């Protein structure tokens, strides 16, 4: 029930279509001191960030054509550098007197690929505190370890949804874009075209959003998903499946055992109970070593079938091939470096 409430609060089961985000080039020149929101809908502002008058910020876009919020980049803002600022707080210009130190975003066109939507997929979910034990310098990990991402310590986080077979990457992606796909350059990759509600939900369930992981996942994996709705459908489907896991006994197993060791067999049994006998045989557990501690790091779910808001996760799991357990178990790491 706890996880159902979390997912409902985050709006993960909202299927109402939203107005499309419109990407804009250039800069936002602030003319007033205004709040810069992580989520414009919830009016959340980690760090109480405000714009500084007469300052140029790199422009990402507007919430919809003729909309009322610009999305801009405010470097070093906690949780995410992508912030929403009222359009009444400044001007959109193509060129500014001051330039940011960020290299320009690559604009090469990604060519959508013909063919049916992927029905053979791997959903990869992370336990973020474990990841942040070995990546403590990343922005999202600094925020988590400083107590700014409490929701991330209560649920599985999105790593990605990967069309199979393994190696099915970069569909229709030009070489110039592919060559940029390294963590230091993810901010330069073309941004996925997703609506503002999807972006808000993704920022909550994919902490790596702060490091532009969503750019990388779309370019490498999402372009091979071939959903008719493009990046927005790809991420809506990912959010839907992740919400089902977190709202189930699987989510409760992790939440109720923070700081304790759980067995791989327990995780698989939780899937069997929540999604049908045998579904756990389609789940592989990944662990990492942190000194003398073994930590549960990720769970990988084999899925077969078309993903829709009406498709049950058990149906997708039971239609897929079985897999080895992988890691036999480890500690559910608490937030903060141990």
The pLDDT assigned to 336 comes to 82
> What are the boundaries of each domain within the chain?
18-93, 120-331
CB atoms under 10 Å from CB of 151, counted, come to 13
Q: Got the DSSP string for 109-127?
A: PP-PPPSPPP-EEEEEEE-
CA dist 299 and 44 (Å) reads: 30
CB 328 within 8 A of CB 263: yes
CB 79 within 8 A of CB 148: yes
DSSP code for 55: -
Compute the C-alpha angle 138/139/141, nearest 5°.
65
CA dist 90 and 96 (Å) reads: 13
What are the residues facing 332 on neighbouring strands?
258
| Residue keyed to tokens 């229709």 | 172
CA dist 278 and 4 (Å) reads: 23
Q: What is the pLDDT tens value at each position of the chain, 338 positions in all? A: 444 444 444 444 444 344 578 889 889 988 888 889 998 888 889 988 999 888 899 999 998 887 888 999 998 899 889 999 988 788 888 865 444 434 455 556 788 888 899 999 999 999 999 999 988 888 899 889 888 888 888 999 999 999 999 999 999 999 999 998 998 889 889 999 999 899 999 999 999 998 899 999 999 999 999 999 999 999 999 999 999 999 999 999 999 999 999 999 999 999 999 999 999 999 999 999 999 999 999 999 999 999 999 999 999 999 999 999 999 999 999 988 87
Task: Put residue 47 in one of left, alpha, beta given phi > 0 → left and psi -120 to 50 → alpha.
Answer: left
Distances (CA, A) of 290 to 32, 156, 157, 178: 47, 19, 20, 32
| Residue keyed to tokens 């808001």 | 309
Distances (CA, A) of 140 to 111, 203, 211: 31, 10, 7
CATH number of the domain located at residue range(s) 120-331 in this protein: 3.90.730.10
Is 18-93 assigned to CATH 2.30.30?
A: yes
The three-class DSSP label of residue 132 is helix
The pLDDT assigned to 3 comes to 43
The pLDDT assigned to 236 comes to 97
CB 223 within 8 A of CB 172: yes
Q: Got the DSSP string for 305-326?
A: S---TT--HHHHHHTSPP---B
CB 291 within 8 A of CB 283: no
CA dist 327 and 321 (Å) reads: 18
- The percent of the chain in helix, strand and coil, each rounded to the nearest 5, is 35, 20, 45
Distances (CA, A) of 149 to 117, 259, 323: 34, 18, 33
Spatial CB neighbours of 161, under 8 Å, sequence gap ≥ 6: 121, 122, 123, 124, 217, 221, 222, 225, 234, 237, 238, 241
CA dist 223 and 114 (Å) reads: 11
Q: Do domains 18-93 and 120-331 have the same CATH topology?
A: no
Compute the C-alpha angle 253/256/258, nearest 5°.
105
CA dist 89 and 68 (Å) reads: 10
């Amino acid at each position: 029930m706890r996880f159902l409430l979390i997912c409902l609060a985050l709006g993960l089961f909202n299927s109402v279509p939203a107005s499309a985000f419109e990407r804009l080039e250039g800069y936002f020149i602030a003319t007033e001191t205004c709040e810069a929101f992580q989520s414009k809908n919830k009016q959340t502002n980690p760090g109480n960030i405000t714009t500084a008058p007469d300052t140029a910020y790199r422009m990402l876009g507007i919430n919809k054509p003729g909309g009322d919020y610009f999305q801009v980049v405010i470097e070093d803002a906690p949780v995410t550098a992508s912030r929403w600022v009222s359009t009444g707080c400044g001007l959109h210009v193509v060129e500014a007197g001051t330039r940011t130190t960020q290299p320009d975003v690559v604009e090469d066109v990604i060519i959508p690929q013909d063919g049916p939507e992927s029905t053979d997929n791997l959903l990869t979910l992370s336990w973020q505190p474990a990841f942040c034990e070995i990546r403590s310098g990343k922005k999202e990990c600094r925020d988590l370890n400083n107590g700014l991402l409490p929701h991330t310590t209560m649920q599985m986080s999105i790593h990605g949804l990967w069309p199979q077979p393994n190696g099915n990457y970069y569909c229709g992606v030009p070489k110039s874009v592919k060559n940029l796909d390294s963590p230091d350059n993810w901010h330069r990759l073309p941004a996925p075209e997703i609506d503002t509600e999807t972006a808000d939900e993704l920022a909550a369930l994919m902490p790596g959003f702060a490091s532009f992981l969503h750019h990388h996942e779309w370019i490498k994996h999402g372009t091979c998903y071939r959903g008719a709705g493009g990046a927005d459908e790809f991420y809506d489907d990912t959010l839907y499946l992740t919400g089902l896991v977190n709202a189930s006994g699987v989510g409760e197993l992790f939440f109720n055992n923070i700081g304790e060791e759980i067995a791989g067999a327990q995780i698989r049994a939780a899937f069997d109970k929540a999604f049908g006998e045998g579904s756990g045989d389609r789940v592989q557990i990944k662990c990492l070593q942190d000194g003398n501690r073994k930590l549960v790091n990720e769970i990988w779910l084999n899925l077969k079938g078309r993903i829709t808001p009406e498709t049950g996760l058990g149906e997708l799991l039971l239609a897929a091939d079985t897999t080895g357990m992988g890691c036999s178990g480890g500690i559910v790491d608490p937030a903060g470096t141990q």
